[in-house]
């Protein structure tokens, strides 16, 4: 009986890890208005606003898509709203980032799908992307 319980626990762990790694990304859930009113550091994500030039959204799109393990979920530069999923290297935890241009502003909302804390991963990722943006002269 103890052996059965052991293997059942192992099976549940493997199933949980598989679900996290292969969980589908439903655009209706994740591709939403970021509703950024101010810069915020959240327990499981980050919100940022920045002034945007003519090419800022396209530059940001290029930078984000060059990030390892990052894929487009929905949207485009032409639509002025884009959502991406970036998965962690080992466990495949998905983090979602929505970037939206509103007039002369870019709004960014990056958040974890699972857990109550992302240990600052989304903040570091977004700040890295912003540091790569070409500086206006």
Residue 98: the pLDDT is 98
Give me the tens of pLDDT residue by residue for the chain, a chain 137 residues long: 888 888 889 899 888 878 877 888 888 899 999 989 999 999 999 999 999 988 999 999 999 999 999 999 999 999 999 999 999 888 889 999 999 999 999 999 999 998 888 999 999 999 999 999 987 54
| Contact of 39 with 114, CB cutoff 8 Å | no
Bin 37: left if φ > 0, else alpha if -120 < ψ < 50, else beta: alpha
Q: Which tokens is 85 given?
A: 């999923």
Where in the chain are the domains? 25-132
Can you tell me the distance from the alpha carbon of 71 to that of 38, in angstroms, rounded to the nearest whole number? 26
Q: Which tokens is 76 given?
A: 């485009």
Residue 136: the pLDDT is 57
pTM, 2 dp: 0.87
* Class of the domain covering 25-132: alpha beta
Positive or negative, the Cα torsion across 66, 83, 26, 40?
positive
């Amino acid at each position: 009986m103890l052996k059965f319980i052991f293997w059942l626990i192992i099976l549940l762990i493997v199933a949980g890890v598989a679900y996290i790694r292969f969980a589908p990304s439903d655009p209706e859930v994740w591709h939403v208005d970021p509703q950024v009113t101010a810069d915020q550091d959240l327990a499981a994500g980050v919100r940022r606003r920045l002034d945007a030039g003519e090419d800022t959204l396209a530059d940001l799109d290029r930078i984000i898509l060059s990030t390892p393990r990052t894929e487009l979920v929905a949207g485009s530069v032409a639509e002025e709203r884009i959502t991406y999923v970036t998965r962690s290297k080992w466990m495949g935890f998905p983090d979602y980032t929505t970037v939206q241009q509103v007039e002369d502003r870019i709004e960014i909302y990056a958040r974890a799908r699972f857990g109550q804390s992302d240990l600052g991963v989304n903040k570091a990722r977004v700040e890295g992307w912003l540091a790569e943006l070409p500086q206006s002269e």
